[in-house]
A and B are shown apart, each in its own frame.
Chain A
Amino acid sequence: GIQVEQSPPDLILQEGANSTLRCNFSDSVNNLQWFHQNPWGQLINLFYIPSGTKQNGRLSATTVATERYSLLYISSSQTTVSGVFFCAVGGMNSGGYQKVTFGIGTKLQVIP
């Protein structure tokens, strides 16, 4: 199956700092999503981004599908974004159905 690697596994940022999270995947995919999991465990979808660049507030994401990676940019980080960021890629399984594989996540802590 598809392998998804995320880096770094852990990250501590000073409030207001910028950072980039990376997601590498081992095979071609037809979808890629970035999620934020808050401290209460809820998964919040941030981006559906199989290719190209999107922006949402202080977050933006770029996927280069041909090179099998995606980047999530966090600018001017706030304590409210502390949590875990997951990359999840979607591809077709042998039966022709969609399957989503998650990376292990980047645990982010933003300190005041």
Chain B
Amino acid sequence: EPEVTQTPSHQVTQMGQEVILRCVPISNHLYFYWYRQILGQKVEFLVSFYNNEISEKSEIFDDQFSVERPDGSNFTLKIRSTKLEDSAMYFCASSDLMDPQETQYFGPGTRLLVL
């Protein structure tokens, strides 16, 4: 069964450093998403991406964040200058244009710790 994969599974970084979180969506999917979950809190929507552009972003997704689809398979989330409060689990998801239920398939997540 096809699945969304994410790398790395864990990342520790120093405050102020740039991090890039990587996702490989399901191959025929065209919609991509990033979510985050701060420890002990609910999962929050960050951004959705379609046709090489952001289709929606939340108030969390400020200028420190950017997304990119650098090639035909990867979808990345970049945090330019990490802050302590960026420590969270980051989930990538993708969905199929042709799926009438528009189900989002979630990756296993990347746990980011900013020190």
Q: Which residues of A line the B interface, CB within 8 A?
A: 30-31, 33, 35, 41-43, 45, 48, 50, 86, 88, 90, 93, 95, 97-105
Contact = CB atoms under 8 A, between A and B. Distances in A.
Contacts, number: 61
A100 B31 CA distance: 12
A42 B42 contact: no
Interface of B: 31, 33, 35, 37, 41-45, 48, 50, 55-56, 89, 91, 93, 95, 101-106, 108-109, 111
A31 B103 contact: yes
Given A97-B31, A99-B48, A48 B43 contact: no
A102 B43 contact: yes
Given A48-B103, A100-B104, A43 B91 contact: yes
Given A30-B102, A35-B106, A43-B108, A100 B42 contact: no
Nearest to B95: A98
Contacts of B93: 100
A93 B57 CA distance: 11
Contacts of A100: 33, 35, 45, 93, 104
Contacts of A93: 56
Nearest to A97: B55
Nearest to A92: B102
A105 B42 CA distance: 7
B42 A33 contact: no
A45 B4 CA distance: 12
A30 B101 contact: yes
